Amino acid sequence: MAAPHDVHDAGRLAAPTTPDPDLVEVLTDLFADYRDTRPTPTAVVDLDRELWQRLEDLGMTRLTGSESSGGSGGGWVDAAALLGLAAAAAAPVPLAEHDVLGGWLLEAAGLPNDGGLRTVCRPDPSGVALNVTWARDASRVVALWEDRDEWRVADVPADRIGIEERRNLAGEPSDTVEFDVDDLEAGMLVPHEIGEQFHLRGALARSAQVVGAMERIVEIVLTHVRERHQFGRPIGRFQAVQHLVADIASETALARAATDAAVARAAASDWQDPGMLFAVGVAKSCVGHAASVVVRGSHQVLGAIGTTLEHELHTLTKPILARRSEYGSLHDWDESLTTLAASAGHDRLWTLVTTGRAKPFHDHRSHAP
C-alpha cells in the first residue's frame, strides 16, 4: 500500500491545471482576431512583429518573469495556456524561447532582461548550436553552456555571433549559430540544477505547444466532417470517417491529460519535485505518439484540401512534426521511461506511476513530535 505521502503526490500529479480565466479570455480573443486577419499562409514562416508587439503590450512576452525584473509574475499553468493558444493559432512568435526558457535562464544567472527579442540555445564545446529557432530575428541569444563540470549562462548580442540561416520542417527560422567561445566562458555560473532543468522545461513547453495545435485540429476536423457532404450526407456519418475522428480526438485528449499533469506538478513544486523527469517524459511520449495519429488522421479526413498552402491545416501539422522531436526525440523519451520503469521493478512500478519516483519518498519531518 502506498504511503500517505505517495497518495498525496498522486492527487497532485493528476490535479487539473486552471489558468487565469481572464487571461484565457484575452488571449482567446487576441488569437482569434489574428487567425481571422493574418495573411494567406505560405510555405515560409517569418516572425510576425506586429503580433509580437501586441503581446508585448499585454505583458505576455514576459509572462513568467518575476515582477521585480519587469515580468508579469505568471506561473507555468498560465504559461502553458499561452503557449497552447498561440500554437493553436499557428502564431509565428518565440514565446517559449524568449520567456519560458531564455527569460528564466537570465533570472537564474542574475543577468538583466532589458528588452529586445531573445532566443535560446545549448552550444556544443566548439561554440556551435544547431536548429536555433528565431535566431536571425533575435537581438540577443541566451546560451546555456556546459563548461567542463560547470554550467554557465551567457547573454550574447546578435552582432557577436555568426548565423547560417536555415528553416525547419514547418518553414520557421531554425538557424545554425556560432559563438565566440570567449563570450561563453565569460558567462555567469549557475547551479547544476539549472542545466538539468533546461531540457525538461523545453520538453514540456514543446508538449504544451503541440497539444494546443492538436486541439485546434480537432476543431477543424469536426467542422469539416459536419459541413462536407458526399452521396447526399455529411461525411461524418460514414463509419470509416468516424473512426478517424475518434482516434484524433482520443489521442489529443490523452496528450492533454499527460501534459496538464506535468504542468500541474511543475507548478506545485516549482520544478523541485524529483518526479518531474517521469512526468515530463510521460507528457512528451504521449504527445509524440498522439502527433502521428493526429497528423495522419486529419489529413486523411480533409483529403486534398488539407494539403493546399491556403488551408490552415498545414500551419498546424508541420509545426507539430517539427516540435515533437525538439528537446528529446520520441525514441529518446520512450527509452528514458522504459529505463525508469525497469529500475522500479514490479514492486515499485505503481509508485513510479503515481508519484513519478521509483522509490517512495519519506518526509522525516512528518514523524517529528
Residue 200 DSSP SS3: helix
Instruction: State how far the alpha carbon of 60 is from the alpha carbons of 28, 72, 142, 153, in Å.
Output: 13, 8, 19, 23
Does 146 map to a domain?
yes
Which grid cell is 193?
A: 540544477
101 secondary structure, DSSP code: I
Say if residues 263 and 287 touch (Cβ distance below 8 Å): no
Q: Examine the domain organization and report whether 215 and 358 are in the same domain.
A: yes
Q: Examine the domain organization and report whether 161 and 213 are in the same domain.
A: no
User: Which CATH number covers residue 137?
Assistant: 2.40.110.10
Q: At what angle do helices 76-88 and 192-227 cross, to 10 degrees?
A: 40
How many domains does one find in the chain?
A: 2
| pLDDT at 148 (0 to 100) | 84
Residue range of the domain that includes 173: 114-190
**Cα 50 to Cα 29: distance, rounded to the nearest angstrom:** 16
**Cα 355 to Cα 151: distance, rounded to the nearest angstrom:** 29
Does 81 map to a domain?
no
Q: Which residue has the cell 503590450?
A: 57
Does 74 map to a domain?
no
Q: What is the pTM (predicted TM-score) of this model?
A: 0.91
Q: Examine the domain organization and report whether 180 and 302 are in the same domain.
A: no
**Cα 257 to Cα 250: distance, rounded to the nearest angstrom:** 11
Tell which residue, 330, 181, 188, has the closest CA to residue 255.
Answer: 330
Which grid cell is 243?
A: 473512426
Regarding beta strands 174-178 and 128-133, do their DSSP bridges make them parallel or antiparallel, or are they unpaired? Answer: antiparallel
Q: Examine the domain organization and report whether 165 and 311 are in the same domain.
A: no
DSSP β-bridge partners for residue 11: none
pLDDT tens track, the chain, 369 positions: 344 444 445 444 444 468 999 999 999 999 999 999 998 999 999 999 999 999 999 999 999 999 988 889 999 999 999 999 999 999 999 999 999 999 999 999 999 998 899 999 999 999 999 999 999 999 999 999 998 889 999 999 999 999 999 999 999 999 999 999 999 999 999 999 999 899 999 999 999 999 999 999 999 999 999 999 889 899 999 999 999 999 999 999 999 999 999 999 999 999 999 999 999 999 999 999 999 999 999 999 999 888 898 999 999 999 999 999 999 999 999 999 999 999 988 888 888 988 888 765 544 333 333
Q: Examine the domain organization and report whether 230 and 307 are in the same domain.
A: yes
Q: Examine the domain organization and report whether 165 and 285 are in the same domain.
A: no
Alpha-carbon dihedral 56, 57, 59, 60, rounded to 10 degrees: -50
Final residue of a structural domain among 156, 190, 224: 190
Q: Examine the domain organization and report whether 225 and 354 are in the same domain.
A: yes
Which grid cell is 200?
A: 525538461
Distance from the Cα of residue 209 to its chain's centroid: 5
Say if residues 357 and 279 touch (Cβ distance below 8 Å): no
Tally of CA atoms within 13 A in the half-sphere of 113 that contains its CB: 30
**Cα 275 to Cα 291: distance, rounded to the nearest angstrom:** 24
Final residue of a structural domain among 149, 167, 190: 190
Q: Examine the domain organization and report whether 156 and 240 are in the same domain.
A: no
Q: Examine the domain organization and report whether 139 and 263 are in the same domain.
A: no
**Cα 20 to Cα 324: distance, rounded to the nearest angstrom:** 27
Compute how many other C-beta atoms are within 10 angstroms of the C-beta atom of residue 162: 12
DSSP 233-295: EEGGGSHHHHHHHHHHHHHHHHHHHHHHHHHHHHHHHTT--TTHHHHHHHHHHHHHHHHHHHH
Compute how many other C-beta atoms are within 10 angstroms of the C-beta atom of residue 244: 19
Q: Examine the domain organization and report whether 180 and 197 are in the same domain.
A: no
